[in-house]
């Protein structure tokens, strides 16, 4: 059994505790537990700089067992039912994956998977499956993948059934 930490002490003048992890195996265990769950770049880079760049022993042990240290994708999944114009009894179902990114590269690869396209140069030619962007007031873009195809939507749902979302996103998905 790996002991994670060895010291818990109160922080003076605060209602908080400090938990010290000094053994490299304990640090490795924590990295495994939080891998893929960080939501902000500042926390992600704190770990990269403090535990991988400044502590080569932890870096070596982590990458000997695991491929990469990643962040949580901070995104959303929406299902929309849109009434078709001219035919109020027919609806169109749209599935929209939205992932805030500075570039759209990750969505291009998701689209390759969803649209059964073999070549990344062909992803703009698949009907019923496209990548769009929204320009926000703060100057950031949000890229999203949207599909109206039941077959493609089913493929995403089967994927998410096998590789569950994290935290409340999983409950919302269900």
Q: From first to last of its 174 residues, what are the pLDDT tens digits of the chain?
A: 555 667 888 999 998 888 888 788 888 888 888 887 776 677 878 888 888 888 888 888 888 888 788 777 666 677 777 887 777 777 777 777 666 666 677 777 778 888 776 655 555 566 777 788 888 777 777 777 777 777 887 887 888 888 777 666 677 777
pLDDT at 11: 92
- Measured CA distances, 114 to 78, 103, 118 (Å): 16, 19, 11
> Do 32 and 105 fall into the same domain?
no
Domain limits for position 26: 7-65
Instruction: Give ∠ CA 115-116-121 in degrees, rounded to 5.
Output: 80
Last residue of a domain, one of 65, 86, 114: 65
pLDDT at 167: 65
Decide if 159 is inside a domain: yes
> Do 126 and 51 fall into the same domain?
no
According to DSSP, the residues that pair with 145 across neighbouring strands are 97, 131
Decide if 1 is inside a domain: no
Report long-range pairs for 96-99 (Cβ below 8 Å, ≥24 apart): 96/144, 96/145, 96/146, 96/147, 97/144, 97/145, 97/146, 97/156, 98/142, 98/143, 98/144, 98/145, 99/73, 99/74, 99/75, 99/142, 99/143, 99/144
pLDDT at 118: 62
**What is the reported pTM?**
0.47
| Domain CATH code at residue 88 | 3.10.28.10
Decide if 94 is inside a domain: yes
> Do 89 and 55 fall into the same domain?
no
pLDDT at 12: 93
> Do 99 and 155 fall into the same domain?
yes
């Amino acid at each position: 059994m790996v002991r994670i930490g060895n010291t818990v002490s109160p922080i003076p003048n605060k209602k908080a505790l400090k938990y010290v992890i000094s053994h490299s195996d304990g640090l490795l265990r924590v990295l495994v537990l939080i891998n893929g769950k960080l939501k902000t770049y500042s926390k992600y880079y704190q770990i990269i700089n403090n535990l991988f760049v400044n502590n080569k022993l932890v870096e070596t042990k982590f990458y000997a067992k695991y491929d990469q240290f990643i962040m949580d994708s901070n995104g959303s999944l929406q299902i929309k039912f849109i009434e078709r114009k001219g035919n109020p009894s027919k609806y169109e179902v749209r599935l929209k994956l939205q992932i805030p990114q500075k570039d759209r590269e990750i969505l291009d690869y998701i689209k390759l998977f969803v649209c059964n396209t073999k070549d990344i140069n062909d992803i703009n030619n698949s009907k019923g499956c496209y990548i769009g962007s929204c320009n926000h007031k703060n100057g950031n873009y949000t890229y999203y993948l949207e599909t109206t195809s039941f077959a493609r939507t089913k493929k995403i749902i089967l994927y998410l059934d096998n590789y569950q979302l994290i935290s409340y996103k999983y409950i919302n998905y269900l």
